[in-house]
Amino acid sequence: MKRVLLLSTVHPATDPRIRYKIAPGLGQHYELFCALPHASQSAEQQSITLIRLPLFEHLLWRLLFTHPVVLLKCLRLRPHLVHIFVPELIPVAFLFQWLGAKVIYEVQENLYKKFAIKRYNNHVIFRALFVYFDKLARQRFHCIFTDDAYLKEYDQLSRPFAVIHNYASISHENVIQDHRTQDKPEFFYLGVISLERCLDTLLVALSQLKEAGHDFHMHLFGPLRISMQELKALDGYDHVADNLTFYGYTDQKTALSKVGNALAGIALLKPVADYPESYPTKLFEYMAMELPVITSDFPIYREIVERSECGFCISPYDADALYFKLARCIEKRDEAGEMGRRGRQLAKERYNWASEEALLLSFYDKILAGDKNV
């Protein structure tokens, strides 16, 4: 069997795309190794050998300490193909390529636009190094993109590429319940928590909801990208603090256990960086989990949500509109249930990982077979 190495120095060991989507599919066809920070071998994934890497938040420490560990643990594997998920690993990937491996460089965000909102690892030297190595990778590596929008930036590629969307795995039947009948309404958020992702708008809307007499609970799963001091200073926070639970980064399988009583999933983003032209993964996750979606009124979002009537699209700055939609989900639970069912059906038919996995396996097969067209 061909030997494949999945490699990231940033993604958590339970990253949904790498660990629960890409790895299980590849593990059935290749001798698969997966190197991730704090990874530990699990009984349910015996077809995958997990390699534990140290975890550092700041890029400089990863370059100094994590990358040598990567080379020490992974070079001896002599993989036939290395799939990297962060641009900082491009120099490491060149070394694997020099030793005979084929390389896939996966682009999960448009950093050319994202640098404007990054709060750390954003030094001018890091930016310059990224641009230099990213340009080299376009010429030397095969690329996978998680969104079609990234092709506007990556329009000059020397080797064939693939777009493998981060659609949802349709395997959540165990968490779908008749949540519209619960007495106390709950709402659900999954992903990075930040001002760019409308935390300020959400808090004001929830404050209005509480002021209107609704007793509710808001579950927020994901890393908090502002300080507690900044959070407490936001309008509405003091009023609804008791109605919120911030779980931090959580294995998605654990987070999904809180979906059963939720009336809607929040996926609001402001029109910054590449957000208006690329889809948030949680949009499809909510649809798969049969949750009505409340998301931004960007044209590409409206094309999915409004056309299928599986949720609401509103201005990410309009707390009043968000309040009215949340209240509507509470007061018209049958309608919310219908929206959720339409969203799940659409996810089953179109926006699901099964179709993307087939594209991924085909792309891998062609690369490893030495296809002249690849």
What confidence tens digit (pLDDT) does each residue in 341-350 have?
A: 999 999 999 9
What are the φ and ψ backbone dihedral angles of 244, each rounded to 5 degrees? -115, 145
What whole-number distance in Å separates Cα of residue 24 and Cα of residue 213?
46
Largest alpha-carbon pair distance within the chain? Answer: 66
Same domain, 301 and 188: yes
Which residue numbers in the chain have pLDDT < 50? Answer: 173-174, 372-373
Helix or strand or coil: residue 123?
A: coil
Whose structure tokens read 């909801």? 209
Contact 304, 283 (CB under 8 A): yes
123 and 66 in a single domain? The answer is: yes
Predicted confidence (pLDDT) per residue in 32-76, tens digit: 999 999 998 775 667 899 999 999 999 999 999 999 999 999 999
Place of tokens 């018209």: 332
Whether 373 is covered by a domain: the verdict is no
Q: Hey, is 15 helix, strand or coil?
A: coil
CATH number for position 127 = 3.40.50.2000
Phi then psi for residue 186, to 5 deg, are: -130, 150
Cα–Cα distance measured from residue 144 to residue 9, given in angstroms and rounded to the nearest whole number: 18
Please calculate the CA angle 219-198-322 and round it to the nearest 5 degrees: 75
Task: Answer yes or no: do 343 and 237 share one domain.
Answer: yes
In angstroms, the CA 207 to CA 204 distance is 5
| pTM beyond 0.95 | no
Count structural domains, the chain: 2
Domain range enclosing 60 = 3-167+353-368
